[in-house]
Structure 1
Amino acid sequence: MTWDRVSLATLIFEKISSEKEQLKQRFSASQNGIGHLWLDDLLPDEIAENIAKVFPEPNQMVLKKSIRENKYIAAQMDLYNPLLEEIIYAFQDKRVVAVIGEICNVKHPIPDEYLYAGGISLMGSKQFLNPHLDNSHDKDRNLWRVLNLLYYVTPNWKEEYGGNLELWPNGLDQKPITIHSKFNRLAIMETHNNSLHSVSPVVFEGYRRCVSNYYFSDSPLLASDSFHVTSFRGRPENKLSDLILRTDTFLRMCLRKIFKKGIKENPHVYKKKEN
């Protein structure tokens, strides 16, 4: 059977709606720090397994490797199996966007058709994503980034393999909240000036696969929110890396005060062909 974004969105909407009240409670209980929730068995296992099977190989993706992060990413979805584009845009269906906005208390969330920093990602052995704040805005710096949606599709991925989402609501001096990147699990988190998060290093000879979306809004989540570039920190045990990364963020913020949209265009977007 061929699954398109509408049929996938219907399944996602029905699953989320069936647990809406529990998800509201889970999200509300965490909002004093970094509002978040997760939902297991989002889609029938067969579909989730097929999504994992059609992921491109690492050499078909873009490697982002630096002191900040080490992972494979892709946003130019017309280069890959159509199922990947369909599942990404299923999360942008107006029914799905509306019910997630209601659960997370976000009025009029706006999905990102250009997949700015979204799309798909792979993380293998020794790869990681250091603690960071997501860029506060969309690619044109018109809308505020408010929600991060992460759909994990690697069968049999155990928590001890690493590659798990970590939330640091109390800063790097306290233990993070760890959300296992479990197969067929959807994780959602707020993005604002205090939503420090990371992905733990992978310690397994295999790849953690993830489908990512961001929602935006005309207004920030917190009254205290302000514009910022993607702002990295070092892990608590890496003091030197932390110093280097904080300096890096400071310098990039200085540049953005001069060049509003940066010196060069961010390549991590879906450049769609014009009809």
Structure 2
Amino acid sequence: MRDTNAGPGLVVVDGRQLTFTLEQHWRSPTSAPTVNTQVDVALDASGQVLAVTPVPESVLAKEKLDKMKDGMNDLKDEYLPKLMVRVDQVGKPLLIAVALLAIAWIWLPAVSINISASIVQNLTMFDLLRLANVSSSLEGMMQSGTGSSGLYGFLCVVAMIAPLAHVFVADKRAAFGLFAPLAFLVLTGLGIYLKIRNLTSAASESMRGFGGSQMGDFAGAMMKQALAAFSVGYGSYIALIVALYLAWRGVQKVLAAR
């Protein structure tokens, strides 16, 4: 629609351009004609404009919502059957297990650090992997950063999706992907433990060289007290339970393939 600022307004009805005036045809006491306004046009028997009424915002919003619903229904009709076929192919228990594993590693606390009686800092699995990847000192391991998880993060993602491999790969060895989460937990936990132990020993030795054996023993005691503030978060327990379940399914799958 063209407004009436420079003469008669212009509307398009069924491909025809019709003119109207503000005084004679416009039917809105609260708004003036503006370009591209959605309007209802009443015509007489000869096809000339009788009235031009702007469509209320509530009606336009409802029409947009209806179009969105129609689009969603079309997507549902087209893709939902395909999705359900995939779900049946994978199996709901396996999908739920993988989803729980992803939630536990990405969002739930893997480790809690008791900074004080009222302050607790939670670290997810990806937080731990990021710290382990970027930190070369014990101080760095004790602080949260914004670095990349690097190879650790890549292996974590691989371990999350590996249990689905046997569904899509026609190879008996793909069933060993069900053991990937448990293997990742064990190897990563052992790796982080050894790294913290080595960094602690190096810090104690450095203090011992600086101030003698007493300073080294004091530093060692301080390190032990700091590490005692760490506790396993419930996210780690959930991830371990899921990993054990997936490994049990892996044993069944491997034995059945023999």
Please tell me the TM-score bracket, short chain as reference: under 0.3
Structure with more of its chain in helix, by fraction: 2
The one of the two structures with greater contact order (alpha-carbon pairs below 8 A, sep at least 6) is: 1
Instruction: With the length of structure 2 as denominator, give the TM-score of the two structures.
Output: 0.18
